[in-house]
Structure 1
Amino acid sequence: MAEVIPRWNMPPVDFIEADSEKVESDLITEYEKVSGRTLAAGDPVRLFLLSIAAEVIQLRQGINFAAQQNLLTYAKGEYLDALGQSIAVTRLPASKAITTIQFTLSQALGNAYSIPKGFQVSAGSITFETDHELIIPVGERTGNVTASCTESGTIGNGFVVGQIATIVSPQPYLESAANTVTSIGGADIEDDAAYAERIRLRPDSFSVAGPEKSYIYYAESYSASIIDVAIASPDPGEVYVYPLLSGGQLPNESFLEGLFAHLSDETIRPLTDHVVTQAPTAVNYKIQVDYWVNQSDSVRIASIQAAVEEAVESYRLWQQSKIGRDISQDELIARVIDAGASRIDRTTLSPTAFQALSADQVAQCTEVKVNFKGYKDE
């Protein structure tokens, strides 16, 4: 979805008049006033003035754009990077997906067994490598170690338990390897919207008292895969940090440990704070939409069906992309109707009703069913 500019519902700012009709009118009116003659539609002088007006309009638009790029509500790309650099906020690079790999030996050995850092295990064309050396103690057959995808970005996300299981370079006594958790945390380079929000939060991080927005800023600065953060402090000195990842994924233990280490840095965490990183509590729900389309729209049924499917998927992502967002039946209905459906069966509709969520909960869809029921007369 394209970002709305200016950001945060701020009012538009124009530094110079760039309305084409007004510029053209002003030029022609001023010439007629000075020369004392009226310019007809095909007058060569009028055409010449219109060509000058086109250049003036282009110049004014350029001035407006250049001036707006000095505002956080407008800045994009390299201009946004420059604004971030001015207060020591850099755009987050692409990050790699992480998981935990369990290695199993063919038998217990009389000496410790070493699996070196960088040892590779693949899932088809995607490869993960261990983050550090793993030592399997004497007499034991298994050991766990974190591993990162060799490629940055979202490509390494979503490999479920057991999918990453092909040992790239076999070695003696090593029987098998497999991931024990779904791979998560891979993200593309931080986009303008997320980067601008972190720049906006940066002044809050200057406080040494550990305010809520400071923890949000530092948590979001850990990884570009974090799309939302909730902070709670149930007791003095206790700070609970709940991150949510791209696509509404819940973080696993490996990711939470890394975030905890990041937030525990002496330059971030106030000395008296006890920081706890936890995954938001999942509130499961299902989506079911049975819908009809007007008979008059039958000629474009294929495009309507595709639009409805897309609307349901956009709702699913919207619903689970923010911690504490209430589960809203009305939002689903509105999106499906806007996509072209004429009626929805409310007796089978799921979610069945509005459900309020607490500040540390996040909706998680477990099943999606979308059924086209036929045509109806208006």
Structure 2
Amino acid sequence: MSSNNPYDAVPEIDFAPESTEQILSDMVDTYEQSIFEQTGRMEKLPVASREKIILNTMAYLISELYQDFGNRAKMNLPKYSAGSFLDVLASFWGLTRRAATPAIGEVEFTLSAVREEDIFIPKGTRISPGDKLFFQTDEDLIIRSPNTSGRVGITCQQAGEVGNGFSEGRINIIVDPVAYVSKVKNIEKTQGGADVEDDLSLRTRIFYAPKGYSVAGPAEAYQFWVREFSQAIEGVGVSTPEPGKVDICLTLQDGEIPEEPYLERLKEFLENKRPLTDDLTLRAPDVVEFDLEITYYINKSDANRELEIKAAVETAVQSYLSWQESTIGRDLNPDKLVALVIAAGAKRLEVTAPQHQVVAADEIFKHRSAKVNYGGLEDD
């Protein structure tokens, strides 16, 4: 089963294992032993004694110091580090937290009629889907006569996820008019925009950074360089179907399937990173569809919470679908679905579909249908 976090396999560590209760117990034992050594009397401190109250206060403060020390010590380890601490750690590998990046796509401009002369559309020409959001062309476009249309890449003028997800034809407003151009539309969904890099993405790049020093083309070196392109990339699968051939498939955040314009830009980025003998193929993962159908029941003792639990179950199913479909190479796991629905308050559930299924490293599951049936109340 695939995980988005490579540190999941790294053991947990705790720099401050002692609890407040253990610290207090040790202090009380030490105090009572000291009294015995000095007076020869073995006394137990009363719960409400002045000394016990003082030791309680000291134990709490010491425990707080232990926890603070433990948390600060963890900030020196990539598995736990966060915020500015993680930024400093990243600098050891020459990495910095990436700023927000804009969404990209491709548009087609269409002329009102055939022209005898070529039509020039300058780089930076703005188009829009509305709502005061603008994209601009990445390079000059010349529509050669007698052609009546031409395509060019576009980039959102506002960085971040705001430019993602505009489906084909949604970007259709010409903000900067060009003579003889009658209409414009995006030909594929816009994608690749990302907000400021989060801690998980930066930790992942730190994990793969040492592999990036190699020029021999190992899989983890490609993992590193593909992720260097954008924090919008979430899942990466690398394989070698035959000598000299390297197959790279990837998904974007939340398991989004990358479109061809995005893959082309990534391939250009990798051109001066790959070994000269490697022939790269970049592609979206193969989608394996599945159906989801469950019937769940609620305890009669929870009848007063029936509506609340039903809503929670629906949310749990959506959470399962988001988790299952978020990355490549993740096996189809109905046990995760059962755990989430039971945690939502259901007594039990019958899973008609899906059944457990192993997926290849270059495949991703996407649901075809999702049917959630309520079976009613049952005796506890």
TM-score normalised according to structure 2 size: 0.88
The answer for the alignment partner of 1:176 in structure 2 is 183
Which residue of 223, 248, 253 maps to 1:241? Answer: 248
Determine whether 1:293 maps to 2:295.
no
Range with bigger deviation, 34-43 or 242-251: 34-43
In the TM superposition, residue 4 of structure 1 has moved relative to its aligned partner by 12
Cα distance per residue 1:41-83 (max 9 Å; x no partner): 3333433343333332222222222222111222111111111
- Aligned partners of 2:21 and 2:4: how far apart in 1? 26
CA 1:303–1:154: 2 relative to 1, 3 Å: farther
The 4+ residue runs of structure 1 with deviation greater than 6 A are: 3-6
User: How well do the aligned residues superpose, as a CA RMSD in angstroms?
Assistant: 2.6
- Aligned partners of 2:144 and 2:150: how far apart in 1? 8
The answer for the alignment partner of 2:276 in structure 1 is 271
The answer for the alignment partner of 1:225 in structure 2 is 232
Range with bigger deviation, 243-252 or 325-334: 325-334
In the TM superposition, residue 252 of structure 1 has moved relative to its aligned partner by 0.7
Cα distance per residue 1:237-294 (max 9 Å; x no partner): 11111011112111111110111111111xx211211111111111223333343333
The answer for the alignment partner of 2:193 in structure 1 is 186
Range with bigger deviation, 249-258 or 296-305: 296-305
Determine whether 1:30 maps to 2:30.
yes
Q: Secondary structure at the match of 1:372?
A: strand
In the TM superposition, residue 86 of structure 1 has moved relative to its aligned partner by 0.4
Tell me, yes or no, if the aligned pair for 1:162 and 1:178 is still in contact at 8 Å. yes
Tell me, yes or no, if the aligned pair for 1:20 and 1:57 is still in contact at 8 Å. yes
Determine whether 1:61 maps to 2:44.
no
Q: Secondary structure at the match of 2:197?
A: coil
Tell me, yes or no, if the aligned pair for 1:7 and 1:74 is still in contact at 8 Å. no
AA in 1 matched with 2:169: G
Range with bigger deviation, 66-75 or 77-86: 66-75
Work out the percentage of aligned pairs sharing the same amino acid: 37
The answer for the alignment partner of 2:171 in structure 1 is 164
Q: Secondary structure at the match of 1:103?
A: strand
AA in 2 matched with 1:158: G
Q: Secondary structure at the match of 1:203?
A: helix
Tell me, yes or no, if the aligned pair for 2:98 and 2:231 is still in contact at 8 Å. yes
The answer for the alignment partner of 1:103 in structure 2 is 109
Question: How many residues are treated as equivalent by the alignment?
Answer: 371
Q: Which runs of 5+ in 1 are unaligned?
A: none
Cα distance per residue 1:192-248 (max 9 Å; x no partner): 222212211111222221111111111112111111101111111111110111121
- Aligned partners of 2:339 and 2:304: how far apart in 1? 23
Determine whether 1:338 maps to 2:343.
yes
Tell me, yes or no, if the aligned pair for 1:113 and 1:135 is still in contact at 8 Å. yes
In the TM superposition, residue 85 of structure 1 has moved relative to its aligned partner by 0.7
Tell me, yes or no, if the aligned pair for 1:5 and 1:73 is still in contact at 8 Å. no
The answer for the alignment partner of 1:374 in structure 2 is 376
